[in-house]
Structure 1
Amino acid sequence: MELSESYRFIVKEIREVDGNNKVVSIMLHDLRTNIQVPHPITEFITVKYAYHGKSLNSQLLPARILCRFLNYILKSIDKKDKLFMQLSITGLKSLNLYHGSNYISHLTRNGLSRNTIKLNEAILTNFFVFLNENKYIHEKIEIEYNFYKDRRTVKSLFEKSHLQTKYPTSRKSSTILKLKDFGKNRYELMILFIQVARAISPDIALGICFQFYGGLRRGEVVNVTKLDLEVIPYESMIVSIKDNRHILFPHLEDTSNEFPKRTNYLSPRLCKQIIMDIPLVWEIYFEHMNYLQTMKPKNKQAIFLNKDGNAMSGKVYDRRFNKVKKRFLKELLKQGRYEDYTLLNESYWSTHIGRGIYSNILFDMKLTPTQIAIARGDTNINSSMEYVDEKTTINAIKDNLPRITKLSEKYFNN
């Protein structure tokens, strides 16, 4: 009977004896007797993930990736692959980077996406670093690091030329999923995204708040002037959405990326957007106002500025947003948030995700579909729209703000 037909590495969630907490364990399953035995390699998950405060879900993903790699080793031994045969005699002590490189190349040949393979590569890099640190393998591995602020992360161990690791091309798939929201962890991820923006593109952090906490589109954000903001500090913030392209963008020949869409189908009275009154928004608002005072704007009415002092165009806003997105995804990977990283890295999303996030916050507030449509500035409820009290919608938002504020502050203050 083949080795891979007799044994299989599996992941199990096990409840602790003296409590309700669950722990992740890597088990060796004897398929002949149906006996499952905890494997010592579980120490990797415990030390590198559990001890660092990672959630159960954040431990499960690397554990599953590791089990697939170990099961691949068993199958390779069954196939009499010369690269793996020594492992059948000496066990994991003979494991080396060529084995990991071979597995990554195998995933590439099987057509997995580049993002999925890079995720597997990151987990295997952590695994080999762990083995090297504890001297569990014979090979001595030279570790190199990337540095960002006060964080240190390990460079991939498998991109070395002598390993000849095969990777897929970076060409995007034509069937990529278009994402409309950050998912179940949206509140935590919103805060992280905004904090990354504050660090590397502070000139659009307020715009991102307008999108996440007000549902504004990109074109609506860049059209905002100082006169369009109705602000009572720490009490209310309302944005009047207008078509200011003739004021802000006379230097542009094509202003299609700056078009404020809702001005095309809503009356000026309904083009007022309330921004959720939470501490983080106010903090960023005052930071932005202070930033504007340090600038020498060519257009004194603009809220969002290019480096040259002109009003920020939609294309520039997009570039800034994508810069934040790229760093945000790297931060998720560094923090070991592999489930969130996979969702957000393997899907297409851009500035418009702000409207989806805002919509889901409104759903969490238990607003009716009609109220949500009004809050978003939509007309898809057709004639019923004129029969709904606008004040009821605004009051429903205000009544629910303490709960949403608590959810936001929970992650903002961590």
Structure 2
Amino acid sequence: MIRYSTQQVNAKLFNTYSEENKNTVMIMEKDVDTGVWMPSSLTHYIYAYYSNLAINTQESVGYLICDFMNYILHQVELGEDRVFDNLKSEGLYGLNFLHGAKFLHYLSNEKPRKVKGTIVLGNNYKTVMRKQNELIYFYDFLRKKGITNEYMQVEFEVGEKYTMPGYKSGSKVTSKGKKVLINPFDDCGVDITYPSKDSKSIGARPKLADMRKSDWELLLEVAEEETPDIAFGVAMQFMGGLRAGEVVNQVLSSYKVDKKGDKILLDIQDRQGWLFKNRGIKTDKSQVKKPRKDQPVFDFNGQLFNLLEKHLNYLKDRPRNNTRALFVDLNGNAMAGEVYHTRFAFLKECFLQKLAERKPALAKDYKENYKWGSHIGRHIYTNYLIKTGLCNDATGKPSAQILANLRGDKSLNSAYEYIDRIAVLESIQSRLEELSRISIET
């Protein structure tokens, strides 16, 4: 019995000018009965569209392909649905749009998943749409490679919107006036019952989108006391919007201090080959999504330079195994992203205990009603830029382009979402204040 799975591998990749060792994702075919496995040719889909993107993105795509292939194999083995009978003799060459539509219906209504310890069925609407878009391009890839028959040609039209491979999953690509693939599952003879657009993951907690300044300042204070190894890194996330992978890729020579400008400038580059690869560890949480120079970390709380000085003094007292990394683990090696996330999880617990002494209701709210980790720093940084006007253009209004540049984003989508959300909140607050004034006057 064959089943598909993904696996991270460190491979030597070649291009026209050079070769490099790089962590990448491979799709494997495994004989469950014997334990024997071999690389699948379907891996070429990931290489074709995602080889230059983050390992997490590659894994997400790989999981979908494996899910789809395992679903098909399971249906063939069950022999209960005649739609899959042709695959017994034709293999993937007999794959058609009915099979994809059946899979999407399964994702929407039947696929089990665990939410807060409870097994529930189906994915939410946004997740199914993202996977459907990916599946369309996977079908197109199979046809172009001659793996499926000529009748499985995916058609084009002009002016729709789809998530294109090569972009972060879930991002929106406006393709008005351009050729895009038509959804071939809409009219293939299978009624797909999609989740409601308003549905949310059952039992799932929303992500925490912001903190009050006094709260994140307390978190930094706790970091200095409980996790001095990452305190400066947390400050860079809160006041520079860095991702965790960008923090651990910093070295002693990658920052410049600009005290007159109340900021530190960072050279953010992917230094995994230098810092981590020779140790044979997983680096999926140690990646840099967008290399860039002069990323500003602002002194929002008047303590940034003190935190830097304390961090450098901390490093002097630590053993170092021939590394120039700005952050080291307890063994003196360059700190990997996995370790950084573990340390932040410990910091989070310490912070919530401290906050509970002062604001027990708020601490309970942060703990029980929201999901958050080190990425909260990036949210705080973004919101602070908008609220304080640091990303305003000449007209005095928030600029998506300026905000995206300050965040180190590849596209403007996230910036627009933040600006729209802040605008709505400010509008509501303004209206409440107006209503309060009217009620007092009357």
With structure 1 as the length reference, what TM-score do the two structures score?
0.47
The structure with more helix, counted as a fraction of residues: 1
Instruction: With a CA cutoff of 8 Å and minimum separation of 6, indicate the structure with the bigger relative contact order.
Output: 1
Larger radius of gyration: 1
Relative to the length of structure 2, the TM-score reads 0.44
